[in-house]
Amino acid sequence: MQQFHHLVPALAVRGRVAMTREELVAWGEALGRAARPPLIITLAGDLGAGKTTLAQAICAGYGVTEPVTSPTFALVHRYDAPRSPVYHLDLYRIQRPSELVNIGWDEISTSHALVIVEWPERAGDLIPAGHVPIDLEHAQVDPDRRVLLAG
């Protein structure tokens, strides 16, 4: 996380920051521009918390030009980008971490790529140390804001 410290919004460094969709997208694009492979970013949070929205912003900043859609059913989507491939995973539908073998997790997680994982808790301890963990939560006071916790 250290190399991204300058990207964490000022309030998030000490605690939490509630962002509008536009703010979250701008933050994600900046993270994507700064990202260098190999890098694994995990996006935790409930349904509708904004994980896919943030993943799309990170991909845009990283230089993915194709439309980025939710990999809910395919489990993993792969995109090309100037610096490396991007793998975007949504593990919501897996029942146990061992199912990751079927989608090639061993190769994906060790490849020279940007890897973005929604529902990382489904992977148990199969997420390597050194990833960038991001949590998103619905803001209590405002339905149009999401609380971001990075690092």
Binding interface with ligand ADP (CB under 6 A): 19-21, 24, 45, 47-53, 118, 144-146
Q: Using the rule CB under 5 A, is 52 a contact of Mg ion?
A: yes
Q: Give the residue with the Cβ less far from ligand ADP, 108 or 134.
A: 134
Q: Using the rule CB under 5 A, is 146 a contact of Mg ion?
A: no
Query: Distance (Å, rounded) from C-alpha 31 to C-alpha 94?
Result: 27
| Residues written for the chain | 151
| Closest CB to ligand ADP: residue number | 50
- For residues 112 to 141, the per-residue mask of contacts with Mg ion, x marking binding by CB under 5 A and - elsewhere, is ------x-----------------------
Q: How many CA atoms lie within 13 A of 123 on its CB side?
A: 25
The nearest distance, CB 45 to ligand ADP, in angstroms, is: 5
Task: Report the site for Mg ion in 53-112 (rule: CB under 5 A).
Answer: 70
Q: How many CA atoms lie within 13 A of 89 on its CB side?
A: 28
Q: Give the residue with the Cβ less far from Mg ion, 29 or 118.
A: 118
Q: Which residues contact 21 (CB under 8 A, 6 or more apart)?
A: 50, 53, 144, 146
Query: Distance (Å, rounded) from C-alpha 54 to C-alpha 132?
Result: 14
Contact residues for Mg ion, defined by CB under 5 A: 51-52, 70, 118
